[in-house]
């Protein structure tokens, strides 16, 4: 299966643990571009996002381009754990299509490292960027990173 782990798009400045920070105009544009990139690459897509505003707004923009509804998972907040996210993703796991997960830093980078290398270490992920992973099941060290994804041309 393919898993896309994305950090939410650019949000207004503020405290990282502020659940109500919205996206900036640039962030909305980043999410629209990422949605178009994903739609050009994948046919069947499921979307799961953090319930925090900036992640939901990112996922909503993606859903427009992908024609997919968005589910939210409370485990996808910045303080979530990779193990907790893996368990929460189980009901969304299918062998066909792509699962797109929209979350926050530092969890996004920790998830990429944990799934690929089996280590819960931080990795810097820019807004609205992430990784495309290939894996059979969301568990430590079970993924192969196929590529980095970015809405930016450079």
- 85-133: pLDDT as tens digits: 999 998 888 777 899 999 999 999 999 999 999 999 989 999 999 999 9
Asked if the model's pLDDT at residue 154 lies above 80, the reply is: no
Contact 131, 100 (CB under 8 A): no
d(CA 144, CA 154): 24
Helix spans in the chain (H): 25-41, 53-66, 82-89, 107-117
Do 35 and 62 form a contact (C-beta atoms < 8 A)?
yes
| 2-7/130-134 β-pairing | antiparallel
Confidence of residue 79 (pLDDT cuts 50, 70, 90): very high
What confidence tier does 73 reach under pLDDT thresholds 50, 70, 90? very high
47-56 burial, b at 16+ Cβ within 10 Å, e below that, comes to bbbbebbbbb
Alpha carbon distance 138, 135 (integer Å):
7
Residue (of 105, 25, 150, 71) closest to 11 by Cα position: 25
Q: How far apart are CA 59 and CA 145, in angstroms?
A: 22
- Taking all residues of the chain, what is their mean pLDDT, rounded to a whole number? 94
pLDDT value, residue 95: 73
């Amino acid at each position: 299966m393919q898993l896309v782990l994305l950090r939410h798009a650019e949000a207004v400045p503020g405290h990282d643990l502020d659940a109500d920070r919205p996206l900036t105009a640039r962030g909305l544009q980043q999410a629209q571009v990422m949605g178009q990139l994903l739609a050009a690459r994948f046919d069947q897509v499921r979307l799961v996002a953090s319930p925090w505003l900036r992640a939901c707004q990112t996922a909503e923009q993606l859903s427009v381009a992908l024609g997919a509804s968005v589910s939210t998972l409370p485990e996808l907040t910045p303080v979530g754990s990779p193990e907790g996210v893996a368990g929460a993703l189980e009901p969304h796991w299918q062998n066909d299509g792509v699962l797109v997960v929209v979350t926050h830093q530092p969890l996004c980078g920790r998830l990429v490292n944990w799934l690929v290398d089996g280590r819960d270490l931080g990795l810097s992920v820019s807004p609205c960027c992430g990784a495309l992973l290939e894996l059979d099941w969301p568990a430590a060290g079970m993924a192969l990173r196929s590529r980095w994804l970015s809405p930016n041309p450079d």
